[in-house]
Amino acid sequence: MPNPIPNSPTLLSDSPPPLKSSNLSFPISSRSRASSSASQLAAGWREIQGLNNWENLVEPLHPLLRDEIVRYGEFVAACYEAFDLDPGSRRYLNCKYGKSSMLESVGLAESGYEVTKYIYATAPDISLPTIQASPCSSAAEARWIGYVATSSDTEVATLGRRDIVITFRGTVTNPEWMANLMSSLTPARLDPHDPRPEVKVEEGFLSLYTSDERSDKFGLGSCRCQLLSEISRLINKHRDEEVSITIAGHSMGSSLGLLLAYDIAELGFNAPGKIPVTVFSFGGPRVGNTGFKERCEELGVRVLRVVNVNDPITKMPGVVFNENFKRFRGGFEFPWSCSCYAHVGVELLVDFFKMHNPSCVHDLGSYIGLLRGQMKNPESPNLVDRAKGFFDGGGEWREAAVNMFNLVRSQWT
């Protein structure tokens, strides 16, 4: 199929940077679009949102799609920037800023979006003796997990539609890490009229999404109830406009985002086929089984997964029993293949690695910095050279191996 987005010579001359390098951080900053890019986005936004599963836009990566991925990534980065982890602060485990000033406070004053609601999630009450207690280890208490925002009237002209964006940060507190450890599949059962027992998702992520701790200081109910209520309100408010629902998240946040996208589509909130639901996932793990993947595809949920080939979190859970398992032994499908984890959506592969700090392979700043073309201190991706360094580097590589092991263990053991 030909590329449905008109190609401007000016835009295409800004070719995407090579997707191989390394970076540890990036500044959150306001971004203004060139007029040519803005006009193309307004005309081709449905393709950018995945109408045709990003056909001919990922390989090679179209500059307009790249810019949109970065833009939504910056909204996710704002969650980390605004999250208060100071135990002495009155906003501890909450957002540091009020809704009206949050985007401005993190450098996104000119984003063209307005925050409409903060979202809180309750981690399951799990006690694991191997995890040391900390000020962040209190379970069964709501924590700020992300926010909902809508494009302003002015931004609508640039985007070509009213965009409802929901963003989620990744794992930060100990109870959230505990939830990630619950690596077992359980039926989602989000539609009370059709529970679909064959659609299964990871238990810990589902618990974060649906847990309802009424005794917490916010008293807002589950993350799910907060989100569905606000999305329903915004869809009704803008019912006479073209609307898109864009969900973006990093790591655990991308898992919550995919659950939300599935939920919206399963319940018909998106006025089937009329309101596109798109997920931009950064370093996301698998969320559900093959039944979940197939149902998401059937419902038209579009997912673009930005994946570092060196990021171990993107290969979990289901390191062995995953979407590739049925290919074993000549493609024979085992009876228990329905219990295998499976990724959903289109994969955009990038490649970055830093020997002295291997945990950067999962860092959101590294992901977005690479796409923005602002990578520093590139290191050779040659595997032979890396292997040689492993044997010759001594202590440096031993330290790197320990750091990588700790990263994986903290997510799933």
Catalytic positions are: 251, 311, 362
Among the listed residues 306, 313, 311, the one whose alpha carbon sits nearest the alpha carbon of residue 368: 306
Q: Which two tokens stand for residue 183?
A: 């690596």
Token reading at 181: 């450890």
Strand partners, 308: 350
Single out the residue of 22, 123, 6, 107 nearest to residue 62, CA to CA: 6
Round to whole Å and give the CA distance between 50 and 300. Answer: 10
Q: How far apart are CA 319 and CA 313, in angstroms?
A: 10
DSSP state of 142: E
Contacts 24+ apart (CB under 8 A), 101-107: 102/78, 102/147, 103/78, 103/149, 106/28, 106/77, 106/78, 106/81, 106/82, 107/27, 107/28, 107/29, 107/30, 107/81
Alpha-carbon gap, residue 138 to 94, rounded angstroms: 14
Residue 327: CB atoms within 10 Å: 10
Residue 86 in tokens: 């100071």
For the record, the structure tokens of 243 come out as 């609307």
